[in-house]
Amino acid sequence: MYIKQKQMNRYLVVVLIFSILLSCKTSLNVTNINNAEKYEAKSLMYYLPETVIKIDVEVTRTVFTKGKFNEFAEKYLNIENAEKTDFVKYQLSDIDIDSYGEPDYNNGFIITGKALTDLKINVTDNFLLAGINNKAENYSESINPTSFLIEKESEKFFFTDLTSKRALNETEDTVYKRIKQDSVFIKVPIIKKQTGIKTSEIKAEDAANLIIKIRKKRLKLLYGEVESKIEEVSIKDMVDGLNSIEKNYLELFIGHTEVDTLNYSFEFTPNNSQELTNNILFYFSEKYGINSTNIKGYEPVTIKILKCGKTNIIESYKAKNTVQNKSNGLFYRIPDCGVVQVFKNTDLVANKKILVAQFGTTAEIPSEILSKKNIKIEINPKLGSLKSIE
C-alpha cells in the first residue's frame, strides 16, 4: 500500500512538472479590451477589422450655351428647331463599389503572457492584426473620406468668332444740294456715307454665307478641283481646317456643348441591424447635380446591403460545442459575403457582392499552435481572416 502511494505521488509530481513546463511555454492570454481589468505593461494590442463600403460616384455634366443666331438658323441654313435656351444637365455616369478595412473598436484584444516575448506579432499602423512570425508587408488602404465636393463652376463660353466681316455696316445715301450756277439754281447729287453697327440678322446672314462658302470650297477639294501642285496630305489638312471653321460658325446657330466630369466619394459601414434597410448616401438632381440635403427636386440615392448568411452554420456549431472556459487563443474573423446595392429612387444603378468582415463570425487559433517553434501565421488585415499557417 505504501509502495503504491509512493508511485502515485511520483506520477503526480511528473504530471505537475510537465504541466508547469507546458504552461510556461504556452502562457499566452488574449482578452477583449472591454473585459480587461487592468493595464498590463508587457502586452500587445490588436483590433479585428470591420469592412467599410466605399462608393465612388462619377457625374457627367453637360453645359449647353444657345447660339447667338439661333432664331435665324432655319431662315439662312434651313436648320429647324435650334435650341433656344441655355441649360445644364447632370447624369450619374459611373458608380464603383469597393471596400477597405478599419479597426472595429468593439473587437480589440490585449495579448499578455510569457510566450509573447517569443512571438513576432505583426500589426498594421492602425493595429490591425497581420500575422505571427510572418514576413511583414506594407499594408495600406487608399482611403478617400466621404466628400461633397464644392462643385467647380463651368467656364462661361463666349462666342468670339461671330463673322469674317466687320461688325460695322457702311451705307451710301444720295442727297441733292441746290447750288447757284450762272444765275440758275441746279440740283447737284452728293453721296453721303454712313457707318453703323450691323443688326444681329445681318451678322447672321454674313456667318451663314461664310458657312456656305466653306462647304463649296470643301466640295471642290474633295472632288479634286484643285491645283495639281497641292499634295494629297495637304488636301486632308485643308479639309480638316475647313471642318473646324465650319463647326465654330455653325455653333452660332445650333449652340455650343461642353461636357466634363465631377467625382465624389462616399462611405458606409454596415452592421447586422442595417442589412435590410435603405440608407441614404446623397441626393441627386439631373438639373442641379449632387446634394447632401433633401431639397425639392432631388431624388434620394440609397445603399442596401444584404447579408449572404454563409457563416450561420459556423455560428450554430459554435453555440453547440463551445466550452465555457477562459480562452487563450488568438482571435481572427471568418467573414461573410454581402450583396451591395445602390438605388436612385427605386431604380437599381449598381450591384456588387463583396466580403464583409463584421457579417461573419470569429474563431481562434489555440495557444498550443502559437507555442510551436518557427510557426508562421498569415492574417489578411483587410478582413481579419486566416490566410495560412505554416
Residue range 229-254, pLDDT digits in tens: 566 567 888 888 899 999 999 999 99
pLDDT at 368: 79
Would you state the cell numbers that stand for residue 212, as one nine-digit string? 456656305
Asked whether 354 and 340 are in contact (CB, 8 A), the reply is: yes
Residues 6+ apart with CB under 8 A from 326: 29
Question: Could you give phi then psi for residue 222, rounded to 5 degrees?
Answer: -75, -30
pLDDT at residue number 195: 62
Given a cut of 50, is residue 187 above it in pLDDT? yes
Beta bridge mates, 97: 55
pLDDT at 2: 45
Which amino acid, one-letter code, is at 379?
I
Could you read off the pLDDT of 69-94 as tens digits, one per residue? Answer: 999 999 999 999 899 999 999 999 99
57: how many CB neighbours lie within 10 A of its CB?
A: 22
pLDDT at 9 over 50: no
pLDDT at residue 326, as a whole number: 56
- DSSP secondary structure string for all residues of 327-343: --SEEEEEEEEEEEEEE
Cα–Cα dist 299/320, whole Å: 48
Instruction: Output the pLDDT for position 247.
Output: 92
C-alpha cell at 374: 518557427
The answer to whether residues 300 and 353 touch, using CB atoms and an 8 Å cutoff, is no
Give pLDDT tens digits for 148-173. Answer: 555 666 777 777 766 666 655 555 66
pLDDT above 70: residue 21: no
Q: Is the pLDDT of residue 139 over 80?
A: no
Contact 336, 275 (CB under 8 A): no
pTM above 0.85, yes or no: no
Neighbours of 355 (CB within 10 A): 19
Spatial contact of 262 and 252, defined as CB atoms under 8 Å apart = no
